[in-house]
Structure 1
Amino acid sequence: MPGSRARLINAARRSMLQRAELRRRATATRDAFRPQALLDRGKRRAEETAEDIAYIVHEEFRAHRVPLTLAAIAGLAWVFREPIQKHAPKAVQKMGEWADGVAAFFGVGDRAGEEEGDIAEEGDEPAFGDEDEEAEASPASDDDMTQYAEEK
């Protein structure tokens, strides 16, 4: 019988160890499902996910700068399309007036074009072909149309 007593003592020790392990797991599970613990775990996972997403976006932007920049500009233009449509004509007019004022201040304008010979004067001939070919190619009014038909 001395062997059975040793077996009982060993079984009691194993059951106490199992009970202690079960109690430890139950406490850990209870602690894990407390509202504050759940909230902390959710915050930590959200931060990790946000960091991962930021890293991926950063790497993609570094790899494809121009297309992503163009897409971002197009997206912003789409978001602000109505204010742009309302205010763009006024802004363009103001910028044109400002540019004319700057050009006048620095003496840049019509005179600069005349010096380079870019502006055509009244007596100048067309750059390509002569005037007769242009008149035949595209009559401008009904009278020209009838004259054109009579000539042919």
Structure 2
Amino acid sequence: MTVAEILARARGKGLRIATAESCTGGMIAARLTDIAGSSDVFDRGFVTYSNAAKQDMLGVRPATLEAHGAVSQEVATEMATGALRNSLANIAVSVTGIAGPGGSEHKPEGRVCFGLAQKGAETLVETIDFGPLGRDGVRQVSVEHALDLLARALD
């Protein structure tokens, strides 16, 4: 499904979208707003690159960050639900990951956690290890995957 189709599907269902992004730095919001007329569907995007921003803007709990780290399903869940809570959206997608270069044995480059929150539904969360595709590569595949999550939720 193209970005235009995602927006049209959301529009047809009367839904508004929010994004909560860390490693993609606003790239998902940019893709959604590249389409003219998206303002009736896209409510807002949160770029929460730092842990402080995740806490301040989305209400991610310090205890969650401490226990699991920023790149975790737990944080992705709190980011997505925080985006819903702090917006006019009905559906929100979140992404937090290690675009690289670098990473660690436990959290390698290319590991990205996604959350998808919808009003009145359980938050979907998943982790994908894209591998060491390089910073740009990890960010691009993360954007595509987040858009795919939105598409599947709107199908």
Q: Which TM-score band applies after superposition, normalised by the shorter structure?
A: under 0.3
Larger strand proportion of the pair: 2
TM-score, normalization by structure 1: 0.14
The one of the two structures with greater contact order (alpha-carbon pairs below 8 A, sep at least 6) is: 2
Q: Which structure would you say has the larger Rg?
A: 1
TM-score, normalization by structure 2: 0.14
Larger helix proportion of the pair: 1
